[in-house]
Structure 1
């Protein structure tokens, strides 16, 4: 990879470029209904900008190191009965969408009709700036960090 290439140039482009999505209201409802691990998991793919907190129970798997681990992650999630893998980054328009696309491609290659790879619309920025209902479900929430993203 050339030094001026983006990090993802080292990996194939996902075939799935517009994965499905959940709104933050839908994810909030899922969290309130029983939490992570019942049938869904949240994956925060931020690395350098992993600041200000994350959604409670999410796992952090930086996008820059994700691609080679997808087969193992798929098997772990499948064995755990996960039906929805919900990816997010700052906005869910870059790394989150790419990760969801790669994972969706892998699910399709497995012939799996039960698991879905989705993005969280608006990413962590949308979540952390949407009010008390959302920030109470964050670990490591730093209010000062999120003020830069307030309208």
Structure 2
């Protein structure tokens, strides 16, 4: 069993993620786990996988993302839903790997050793404050929603 907990999940800063995205670094997938609060903007190119769908979507997600190098989870603040989702992903990946359901990646590396799972520090709330108006990093951004709600 993994020793990773919500408390010790690795984090990535918005600045670091923005730099990786601007450099078009391959192998990064961003998972936005917000539900109704997804409205008002999101990181360009992210996948919206609300926490309410995790029971049936997590195995599919692990299989789909097996060849990605970095998986970034986030919610509005990345205090509860984002970290919990990242942990759930790690546990599902570990379970599937132990059952031999994943094998090795296309690059020949073991999935658990090759893939980094992180949480976006500060979530979308912090991201939108810095990059909400940047169309190279954020899409469907509605500034007024964030000014009124956070």
TM-score (norm 1): 0.78
* Pairing 1:89–2:75 present: yes
For the residues of structure 2 that align with 1:124 and 1:72, how far apart are their CA atoms?
A: 24
Candidates 22, 33, 48, aligned match of 2:12: 22
Task: Tell me the CA shift for residue 113 of structure 1.
Answer: 1.0
The aligned residue for residue 44 of structure 2 is 56
Structure 2-normalised TM-score? 0.78
CA distance in 1, matches of 2:120, 2:129: 14
User: Is the CA contact (8 Å cut-off) linking 2:11 and 2:121 kept in structure 1?
Assistant: yes
Secondary structure class of the residue paired with 1:118: strand
Q: Tell me if structure 2 keeps the 8 A contact 1:43–1:86.
A: yes
Large movers: runs of 4+ above 4 Å: none
- The alignment partner of 1:41 has SS state of strand
Correspondence 1:100-115 to 2 at 5 A: 100-109=86-95, 110=97, 112-115=112-115
The superposition leaves residues 5-31 of structure 1 with CA deviations (integer Å, 9 ceiling, x where unpaired) of: xxxxxxxxxx63232111001100110
Pairwise CA distance, 1:103: 0.9
The aligned residue for residue 138 of structure 1 is 138
Structure 1 position 42 matched with structure 2 position 30 = yes
| Secondary structure in structure 1 of the residue aligned to 2:113 | coil
SS at match of 2:6: coil
C-alpha separation in 1, matches of 2:46 and 2:131: 19
- Contact 1:67/1:102 (<8 A) preserved: no
* Residue-by-residue CA offset, 1:66-121 (whole Å, 9 max, x unaligned): 1332222111111xx20111011100111101100111222334262111221100
Q: 1:116, 1:67 → 2: CA distance? A: 22
What is the alpha-carbon distance in structure 2 between the residues aligned to residue 131 and residue 56 of structure 1? 11
* Runs (5+) with no aligned partner, structure 2: 99-111
Distance 1:57 1:146, change over 3 A: same
